[in-house]
Amino acid sequence: MPTETDHPAADTHQPLVAVVIPALNEEGKIGRVLDKFPRDARFEAIVVDDGSSDRTGEEARERGAALVIRHEVRQGVGAAIRDGWQAGIARGRPYLALLSGDDQHEPSELVGALEALLTAKADYVQGSRWRKGGHVRGPSSGRALGTRFYSLVFSVLTFRVVTDATNGFRIFRAEILSDPAINIGQSWLDSYDLEPYVLYKAIRRSYRVIEYPCTVVYHAREGYTKMRGLRDWWRLFRPALLLRTGVKR
């Protein structure tokens, strides 16, 4: 369970937030993400190249990523995020964050999200395109209805209103992952399950979770997402359901 531990004091010589950016064949996009990364010494970018067959990793290095982790064989987005977060912890960063590698988020919004988390003395800030001040840019191809429905179901299962539970944009205290009731190393979390798993656990373990309005951009000509069909949507849905029913821990 969370404690009333003070937030770590800033070390002016080291970043505070390890921002993990999972990427699979995002050549062209990953460079745009890093070009927009905040020029703020509190943040560092850790790109996890999950078995790309293009120049994703090389482009990330060229465009200023602090660390690029390479999976020679594709392991899944959850595995990529996990390896990035574990690297952030190993580097001593007190906060961990997540951005999409396909340029769907606005990296500059990390600054406001961190300030909101610190001001509220929260443990976890979840991005929401649906809160006042949030935005959706580009045609969503019907995804808006799906994300809203998912968030409704997620809210019912957690007993807490969450307006945008599918949104990957987030910052949280690294200490959360040391909670013995939170085990991100489970193999069933290697795909899209990991993100909702951590959000569900943070809420149900009574960590201080707040939402922050953010922007989601759909690049119609470049593809909306790497999610494919009902199988990947089920991977988003099942963590809250399986945890709520006690099937998974």
- Residue 200 falls inside a structural domain: yes
| Whole-Å CA distances, 146 to 110, 125, 149, 166 | 25, 22, 5, 10
The answer to whether residue 10 sits within a structural domain is no
C-alpha torsion 227→230→232→235, nearest 10: 150
Containing domain of residue 134, as a range?
17-244
Dist. CA 37–CA 131, nearest whole Å: 23
Q: Examine residue 84 and state whether it is found in any structural domain, yes or no.
A: yes
Q: Is residue 7 part of a domain?
A: no
pLDDT values of the chain reduced to their tens digit, one per residue, 249 residues: 444 445 555 555 899 999 999 999 999 999 999 999 999 999 999 999 999 999 999 999 999 999 999 999 999 999 999 999 999 999 999 999 999 999 999 999 999 999 999 999 999 999 999 999 999 998 766 678 889 999 999 999 999 999 999 999 999 999 999 999 999 999 999 999 999 999 999 999 999 999 999 999 998 765 545 555 566 667 777 899 999 999 999
Residue with tokens 């001040």: 133
Sign of CA dihedral 229, 231, 235, 237: positive
Is residue 223, in this structure, part of any structural domain at all?
yes
Question: Would strands 170-173 and 95-98 be described as parallel, antiparallel, or unpaired?
Answer: antiparallel
Three-class secondary structure of residue 176 per DSSP? helix
Which of helix, strand or coil describes residue 145? Answer: helix
Q: Is residue 2 part of a domain?
A: no
Q: Kindly report the CATH number assigned to the domain that includes residue 145.
A: 3.90.550.10
Number of domains in the chain: 1
